[in-house]
Amino acid sequence: MREKRMTELIFNADDFGLSPSANRSIVACARAGLLKSASLMVTHHSAEDAVRLVDSLDEPIRLGLHF
């Protein structure tokens, strides 16, 4: 008999740091437990805001860098 495998679906948010509204939406999804990581657009004007928002989370998400 075949062994059943558990699968895990991982959601990563793209464009973190693009705009204040994108940042708020991504953080809201993180607070709701819907995602564990995001790609931070380090050269955009809202990147510093995104980092501040991540620091405010009870359970921070992982950040990848989107150059």
* CA-closest candidate to residue 64, choices 39, 33, 41: 39
pLDDT in tens, 22-59: 999 999 999 999 999 999 999 999 999 999 999 999 99
55 in the Ramachandran plot: left (φ > 0), alpha (ψ -120 to 50) or beta? Answer: alpha
3-state secondary structure of 23: helix
* pLDDT-derived band at 1, boundaries 50, 70, 90: low
Q: Return the higher-pLDDT residue of 6 and 16.
A: 16
**Does residue 37 contact residue 10 with C-beta atoms inside 8 Å?**
yes
